[in-house]
Chains A and B, each alone.
Chain A
Amino acid sequence: MRRHLLQGIIHAPLTEPAPEPDDAVMGELAAALDRAARRRLGRSLSIREVDAGSCNGCELEINALSNAFYDLERFGLRFVASPRHADVLLVTGPLTKNMRVALERTYNAMPDPKFVVALGDCAKNGGMFAGSDACLDGVSKVVPVDLHIPGCPPSPRDILAGLLALLEKIGA
């Protein structure tokens, strides 16, 4: 274990730096998100995620945000275990009928001000599952959606960019 720890100290972090052209976007995002979050919410942004019947593809990419390349928490964004601690409700899936009550209760448990982000094509209007007897075709049927991040699934980079857009919208 010592060897791994030592290498961690010696080697440069994998977390993507700002200067590279592609990474410049990430760097700007980092600065902008941090400033905006502090100005508008006075602290970091806490996110409660709810899977409302997704295929789990969106969850894979949301979880990837925490890996060393994206390192979500450096932006002041973090996932919380309870809706009572959350500013943002991040919802995936077409909203199955079987998840309706759970989503409503999670939303109602959040303190104001609160924002809802619908993540992925399904969350917008049911996506591929639109028209199913078992689905409600979109998160907005039950909770008010502030922002939609498209993709099937959206990449971690898309998700990060979307969260910035939310902050811009809050400030507008």
Chain B
Amino acid sequence: MSGPGPVGPGAGGAPALRIESLGVTVPGPAGPVRVVEDVSLRVAPGETLGLVGESGSGKTMTALAVMGLLPREARRVGTIELGGTRLDTATERDLERIRGRRLAIVFQGSLGVLNPVMRVGDQVAEAIRVGGVTSAAARAARVRDLLDLVGIPDPARWAHRYPHELSGGMRQRVAIAMAIANEPDVLIADEATTALDVTVQAQVLDVLRRIQARTATAILFISHDLGLVAGAAQRVAVMYAGRIVEDGPVDELFAAPHHPYTAGLLAALPRLDGQRPVRARLGAIPGQPARAGQAPAGCPFHPRCAVAKIPDPCATRRPEPAMAGDGRLVACHRAVEIAAGTLDPGPGTGGEPGSMAAPLPARSAPRGPDGEAPLLTVEGLVTTFPVRTGRRRRPAGRIEAVAGVDLHLHRGEALGVVGESGCGKSTLARSVLRLVEPDRGRVLLGGRDVRAAGRVELRRLRQRAQIVFQDPDASLNPRMSVGTIVAEPLRIHGRWDRDGPARVRDLLQRVGLDASALHRYPHELSGGQRQRVAIARALAVGPDLLVLDEPVTALDTSVQAGVLNLLADLQATLGLAYLLIAHDLAVVRHTCDRVAVMFLGRIVETGPVGEVFDRPAHPYTQALRSAVPIPDPPVERARRRIILHGDPPSPLDPPSGCRFRTRCWRADDRCATEVPALADRGGGHPVACHHPGPGPEG
């Protein structure tokens, strides 16, 4: 975001928001839990402060504390000052007067963020009324203005609708409209774009930028996504286990992090821009983020830290935040050494392998297409679903979730399928395995026709291809122990014998869990561990192909890296082929050899990852790539963004011809009448577009 903004805490001018030594305690099963401890932040007018943290870091609690919306049982200490007004000592009535007027918040988007039984326009009008506008006509006009400002087309019409009639992106924009209705001094965005598609996210961020430019609002931008923060903020504060571990100007913090946790987070990110050498291991931080109240003594990060001095001082004394030059605040015992450059805090952002990282092993199985038939061939696959409206069970039509897809996958190869929500990639994954019955098309697995297979044949085929799901919570039977879960496929196929238990133990070890996990139950494991169990289960019957449906999306960044490394290791040692479904382009870039980009049921571009991501030919791929944030602030700021107009078309009523044409800046009449076929049009890899070619970003 543009706007100079002061750099460094406490520098020049009165801050719009000042937080000093904030602490929040909530009651827990074993006594009170400190979810936020000694947090101090400052945001100047017109500035954006990024607050970064994983789950359990306390960042949302901090936001709630500022707003005065903590749960009843929570206790708070510390000072909160909004441009001279003390919020921590204010009464509830005072706070009510401040909320919505001088201080506003946008929460993480969900279906429930707006009142479902109230019209959208009325809800925005409510926010305006809070600002003291008494005339209904004036309010109605302002509602239209606000909706227009946040980029909702045809505001008069949409104001009469109910929230469930709007898409996720539109609802979030309405939420922003409500928040800025009275031009607050401070706006808190708490994971405001997390639930949105990447292209919609870019639109929403654009709205925030424009608003800030207009009214010099101070923004506290909370996110777990370092890439987002790199482009959005001038200063960044990193939280871990309820405390601030590092706080400084964005460029310096990203280029040379002083805290091992920050360094670890940056190293754990897969990069879309290929800044990492091919097959470099991600810097995974062992363990999982400390839950509030379970932080160990001393520095909360020390059990996971690559450079911790144990036992003293890192395991005994808590590090206090201290200035570390260039306007930075770091809470680390070894900060001085790190700042001086004599100590490497961990794997750096440049992709150089640190002491923890060793390069991944080269692939063992050859994967040339010459001579060898593909392991998986998909031709003309079409899968449709009946549409059920309201509560009546009468179908009102069919959605073409997969509208004619061709792809192939060789043994030992990794193919990524990317797209935004509703593009049909999950359905594609399930259709290939016949977990969902396709309507038309051919699926050949190892030469055998999957669709034509009878019951017995299908069961046999199931041993050759397995699936790992997105949500590790829901994909494990809560009433079965880990050992039983992993053994289940063996039992189903009658392969459970005396060697069974040994095999299960071996599988668990392979995925990085130790034998004690055998008797644990899913609820005792963390998200990353559960996902590893799911992988072990998928490997039990020794498949050749692993279908992975968003395998790391539900995991924290630091945990995600570990699972991605595991997947790479397994592929190398077992010669597995992967069909990886993801919406995160960086993950696909890091893990896969080839990629297919999907839009509304069709593949629009496919080819080797380097080619497609560095030289995309299809406008949609270009827009996607442009929307993905890169955790490199100078690069982020310099990027030219492609902001798509309007909303993604509905799968219920796809546009004729090329389905992307309603959002495409190159579309013409031909695009409306003729469906572009997927073919190599001179770019080196197949594209489905009538006007392929380099985009504005080059």
- Same complex origin of A and B: no
